[in-house]
């Protein structure tokens, strides 16, 4: 039987043995002068001690390019090590903290947007006999109810894009005609018709009924019109611009005087605060509604004199409120971009031919222009780089008139060749509806208004 002293000695020896074994198995069980074989690469060590030395003693190519190449190759093959003996264990294998499977459903990069296919030919062609071949008129418009109006000589026809039906809206006699301009009201039901006699007629397309005739605003034909809510703005060959309030008997509420020749382009901005007007006098004016005067002619906000031909093509940018595009006639051939707050010209692009009409894509940063001699084509431009994305041909005469469908996808063009063509140039309606940004909801929309 062992005494207490023997038991104590045995426990001490056991503790020392366990401590020795633990130290032997740990990474601290290393000697600073004895290398660790398990952490060494003997093949690499043999190469460095024999072959590498020969290469240094007998250099074949010592050019800087060769040296740099060898250095990059050594780094790629993990041969840029300088030590042969290893006195520490290999570092432990890195354990992935989060399994890579968890990232499989997370997109690593932004998906590449599919390139849109732009058809090079029109998807539909209709005859337009007796279409007046006059650069200064505006004889084509597409309303919000998806009905297209076109003036052919003394008659206005309506084409319903939903079912393809064609109907006659009205006809005037030779004393009043021909029709010189058409423009749908925002409601898509009422339409204004400008005449060569200087009169303007308002029609109800649902009942084919003449509602009223506006007289006294102009002394000659009315070739340009645009709506701003209940205000119908008209421009005439006399150089005058008139705001007509169609709700009241005395319809002339404001006049703008600044053009010396025929007004051939009129466009209100999306906010309804600024009006752009172009004329045969090569002038482009910007008018501010807040500066309108009832008793006297309103003074323009900006006058642009950079164009060297008639300015008919006008288009307000749908994604930047103060950006306006304008196009010049045959003696100018340029598309110009303007900051309408400052009046500064932002860019000018020579298209090589007469610019007849301009339309912005409502869903993408693109601009479509129609042209005259010599190609009579439509050109789709990427904005702001103004790189040509497509050239659409088919018309055999200058493409004088262009208008856009309510969904912003289809463009109708009419030319002196008496043809009306439809182009699916701005994409399919389903795709465009997804791409179009949703408008912010109106605050307090659920609260009843007090009129």
| 306 is a domain residue | yes
Report pLDDT for 352: 95
Report pLDDT for 93: 63
Instruction: Work out whether strand 323-328 and strand 334-339 pair parallel, antiparallel, or are unpaired.
Output: antiparallel
Report pLDDT for 374: 86
| 161 is a domain residue | yes
Report pLDDT for 393: 96
| 58 is a domain residue | no
Does 371 lie in the same domain as 316?
no
Does 368 lie in the same domain as 273?
no
Expressed as residue numbers, the domain containing 314 is: 136-350
Report pLDDT for 297: 77
| 22 is a domain residue | no
| 379 is a domain residue | yes
- Tell me the average pLDDT across 28-56: 63
| 321 is a domain residue | yes
Task: Give me the CATH number covering residue 275.
Answer: 2.130.10.10
Residue where one domain finishes, among candidates 350, 376, 404? 350
Does 319 lie in the same domain as 197?
yes
pLDDT tens digits for range 143-189: 999 999 999 999 999 999 999 999 999 999 999 999 999 999 999 99
Does 164 lie in the same domain as 251?
yes
Please tell me which residue, 305 or 23, carries the higher pLDDT value. Answer: 305
Report pLDDT for 100: 56
pLDDT tens digits for range 287-301: 999 887 776 778 899
- Tell me the average pLDDT across 198-219: 97
Does 179 lie in the same domain as 306?
yes
Does 329 lie in the same domain as 386?
no
| 36 is a domain residue | no
Does 337 lie in the same domain as 370?
no
Residue where one domain finishes, among candidates 304, 324, 350? 350
Does 359 lie in the same domain as 263?
no
Does 375 lie in the same domain as 295?
no
pLDDT tens digits for range 345-385: 999 999 999 999 999 999 999 999 999 988 999 999 999 99
> What is the pTM for the complete model shown?
0.72
Q: What is the pLDDT of the chain when averaged over all its residues?
A: 84
Does 363 lie in the same domain as 283?
no
- Tell me the average pLDDT across 240-267: 96
Report pLDDT for 208: 96
Report pLDDT for 141: 98
Report pLDDT for 444: 34
pLDDT tens digits for range 380-404: 999 999 999 999 999 999 999 999 9
Report pLDDT for 427: 82
Does 268 lie in the same domain as 337?
yes
| 269 is a domain residue | yes
Neighbours of 407 (CB within 10 A): 18
Does 386 lie in the same domain as 271?
no
Please tell me which residue, 104 or 246, carries the higher pLDDT value. Answer: 246
At residue 447 the predicted structure's pLDDT band, cuts being 50, 70 and 90, is very low
Q: How many domains does the chain have?
A: 2
């Amino acid at each position: 039987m062992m005494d207490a002293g023997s038991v104590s000695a045995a426990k001490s020896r056991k503790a020392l043995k366990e401590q020795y074994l633990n130290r032997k198995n740990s990474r601290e069980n290393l000697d600073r002068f004895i290398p660790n074989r398990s952490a060494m690469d003997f093949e690499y060590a043999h190469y460095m001690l024999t072959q590498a030395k020969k290469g240094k003693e007998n250099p074949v190519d010592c050019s800087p390019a060769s040296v740099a190449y060898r250095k990059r190759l050594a780094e790629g093959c993990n041969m840029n090590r300088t030590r042969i003996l290893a006195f520490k264990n290999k570092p432990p294998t890195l354990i992935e903290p989060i399994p890579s499977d968890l990232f499989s459903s997370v997109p690593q990069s932004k998906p590449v947007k599919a390139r849109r296919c732009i058809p090079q030919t029109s998807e539909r062609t209709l005859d337009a006999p007796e279409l007046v071949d006059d650069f200064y008129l505006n004889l084509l418009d597409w309303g919000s109810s998806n009905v297209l109006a076109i003036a052919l000589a003394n008659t206005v026809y309506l084409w319903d894009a939903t079912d393809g039906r064609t109907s006659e809206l009205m006809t005037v006699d030779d004393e009043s005609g021909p029709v010189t301009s058409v423009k749908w009201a925002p409601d898509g039901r009422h339409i204004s018709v400008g005449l060569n006699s200087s009169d303007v007629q308002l029609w109800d397309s649902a009942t084919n009924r003449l509602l009223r005739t506006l007289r006294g605003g102009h002394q000659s034909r009315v070739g340009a019109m645009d709506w701003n809510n209940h205000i119908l703005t008209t421009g005439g060959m006399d150089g005058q611009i008139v705001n007509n309030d169609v709700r009241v008997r005395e319809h002339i509420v404001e006049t703008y005087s600044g053009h010396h020749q025929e007004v051939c382009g009129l466009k209100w901005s999306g906010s309804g605060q600024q009006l752009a007007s172009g004329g045969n006098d090569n002038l482009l004016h910007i008018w501010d509604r807040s500066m309108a005067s009832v008793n006297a002619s309103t003074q323009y906000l900006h006058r642009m004199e950079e164009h060297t031909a008639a300015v008919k093509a006008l288009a307000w940018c749908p994604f930047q409120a103060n950006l306006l595009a304008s196009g010049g006639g045959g003696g100018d051939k340029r598309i110009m971009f303007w900051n309408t707050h400052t009046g500064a010209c932002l860019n000018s692009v020579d298209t090589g031919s007469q610019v007849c009409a301009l339309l912005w894509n409502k869903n993408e940063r693109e601009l479509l222009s129609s042209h005259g001699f010599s190609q009579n084509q439509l050109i789709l431009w990427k904005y702001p780089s103004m790189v040509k994305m497509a050239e659409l041909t088919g018309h055999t005469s200058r493409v004088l008139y262009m208008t856009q469908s309510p969904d912003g996808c289809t463009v109708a063009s009419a030319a002196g060749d008496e043809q009306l063509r439809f182009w699916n140039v701005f994409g399919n309606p389903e795709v465009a509806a997804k791409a179009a940004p949703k408008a912010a909801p109106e605050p307090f929309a659920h609260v009843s208004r007090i009129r």
